[in-house]
Chains A and B, each alone.
Chain A
């Protein structure tokens, strides 16, 4: 009798608690290799879980081919960035493949075409799609583009101090890095704020596809806000006094939770494939 009651209680629980929307897919099938799940309708939204941003996340707003989401490089006055004189001079020296001043493939000096790592925060501004894992010490973000990853420390450690050529951590000097040094803290149960310093200098990395610059003096602030179970609002503000006269918001993208079983199409930057593309198309199309 007790066993029957336990069984009935279990079945009742299964009916009461929400079933994972992805569980209805067969575990023997492979989902489409491009996570393209659209935003969930208001009526279907479920409450946000506490203190977690884990999951596979995507958004069509993440493409950002024309530059950062909130200020695309389209020539419109409202999207012009607040450059310092040095910042503007640097922008003009960048020959980008996208944006208001784009050039043909054979003329570009974008480090991306040499398959240099994009650096941070440019990985946030190029075909953004990620998988996020977390434990009690850290959040790990795996970027789909070029299979890169970064770590955000959430265990209460100190935030590095920005110094010339690197950072200072607990009295020790540390080098600049493609992804810098990120420390996060929970503002409340649904909002993670992340600060990053210690990124590479402006002769190594760009801010976005359109040639906007960013320097090693940048301090990047991100906010990950879990609005509901299926929506993560990812915001980013750039404070780079060497390049821009004031802080400005670069993106605020509502990312949608994707099927965690998705085996995404690979998108590596391969010097071999890039060379083959230039020989078959890029050089001739550019008039070379």
Chain B
């Protein structure tokens, strides 16, 4: 019960837009069609099949820290949207727009990520869009 309250406060404090930013029909009961936007600190970034995973810590208005795990599609699907295997490193400040899971747990699917330097990485659902290159291209 307490964890759910913590998650609820975190969402309430961090939501910048509650209306659907993307008309995202999941066709599944897993994900909400309404997106939320969270500011957090990266813990890990897993560049892997079947899905890439971003783990981040989000601090709510009440000071509670909640760990979120958010997924994107496989590397080959999100590469055109600017994601790379070194797009994130531990400690990075990120702003993530995502479709959260409907069971209230801190999981979801990435819609968009904005890095601290303003770089936008596009639709993590593999639908393309967003800036090409990202950190990986800059490092080449």
Choice from B26, B53, B74, B101 contacting A280 with Cβ under 8 Å:
B53
The segment from A4-12, A190-198, A242-250, A260-268 found at the interface with B is A260-268
Which residues of A162-211 are within 8 A (CB) of B?
210
**Known contacts A36-B80, A63-B77, A127-B76, A277 near B30 by CB under 8 Å:** no
A65 nearest CB neighbor, chain B only: B126
Cβ distance A184 to chain B, nearest Cβ, rounded Å: 28
B79 touches A34 (CB 8 A): yes
Contact digits for B76-107, partner A, Cβ 8 Å, 1 yes 0 no: 11011000000000000000000001010101
A144 nearest CB neighbor, chain B only: B76
Which residues of B35-71 are within 8 A (CB) of A?
46, 48-51, 53, 55, 69, 71
The segment from A93-101, A116-124, A220-228 found at the interface with B is A93-101
Which residues of B4-54 are within 8 A (CB) of A?
25-30, 46, 48-51, 53
Cβ distance A82 to chain B, nearest Cβ, rounded Å: 21
Which residues of A236-288 are within 8 A (CB) of B?
264-265, 267-270, 273-274, 276-277, 280-281, 284-287
Q: How far is the CA of A281 from the CA of B108 in the complex (A)?
A: 9
Cβ distance A92 to chain B, nearest Cβ, rounded Å: 15
Q: Which residues of A contact B128 (CB under 8 A)?
A: 60
A265 touches B76 (CB 8 A): yes
Choice from B25, B29, B53, B55 contacting A103 with Cβ under 8 Å:
B29
Most buried by A among B50, B55, B75: B50
B69 touches A281 (CB 8 A): yes
Q: How far is the CA of A100 from the CA of B25 in the complex (A)?
A: 9
B27 touches A281 (CB 8 A): no
Q: Which residues of B contact A100 (CB under 8 A)?
A: 27
Q: Which residues of B contact A75 (CB under 8 A)?
A: 27
Cβ distance B86 to chain A, nearest Cβ, rounded Å: 14
Q: Which residues of B contact A273 (CB under 8 A)?
A: 48-50
Q: Which residues of A contact B126 (CB under 8 A)?
A: 63, 65
Choice from B30, B46, B51, B69 contacting A286 with Cβ under 8 Å:
B30
A285 touches B50 (CB 8 A): no
B46 touches A34 (CB 8 A): no
Is residue A105 within 8 Å, beta carbon to beta carbon, of the partner chain? yes
Is residue A104 within 8 Å, beta carbon to beta carbon, of the partner chain? yes
Is residue A135 within 8 Å, beta carbon to beta carbon, of the partner chain? no
Categorize the interface residue count of chain B: 20 to 34
Cβ distance B129 to chain A, nearest Cβ, rounded Å: 11
Contact digits for A5-23, partner B, Cβ 8 Å, 1 yes 0 no: 0000000000000000000
Q: Which residues of A contact B29 (CB under 8 A)?
A: 102-104
A277 touches B51 (CB 8 A): yes
Choice from B30, B79, B103 contacting A32 with Cβ under 8 Å:
B79
Cβ distance A93 to chain B, nearest Cβ, rounded Å: 18
Is residue A73 within 8 Å, beta carbon to beta carbon, of the partner chain? yes
A105 touches B30 (CB 8 A): yes
Is residue A219 within 8 Å, beta carbon to beta carbon, of the partner chain? no
A98 nearest CB neighbor, chain B only: B27
A30 nearest CB neighbor, chain B only: B140
Interface positions of B (Cβ within 8 A of A): 25-30, 46, 48-51, 53, 55, 69, 71, 74-77, 79-80, 101, 103, 105, 107-108, 126, 128
Closest 4 A/B residue pairs (Cβ)? A102-B28, A285-B107, A104-B30, A265-B76
29 contacts between A and B (CB under 8 A): A32-B79, A36-B79, A36-B80, A66-B27, A75-B27, A98-B27, A102-B29, A102-B30, A113-B50, A127-B74, A127-B76, A144-B76, A264-B76, A265-B75, A267-B49, A267-B74, A267-B76, A273-B48, A273-B50, A277-B51, A280-B69, A281-B51, A281-B53, A281-B107, A284-B69, A284-B107, A285-B105, A285-B108, A286-B103
Interface positions of A (Cβ within 8 A of B): 32-34, 36, 60, 63, 65-66, 73-75, 97-105, 113, 127, 144, 210, 264-265, 267-270, 273-274, 276-277, 280-281, 284-287
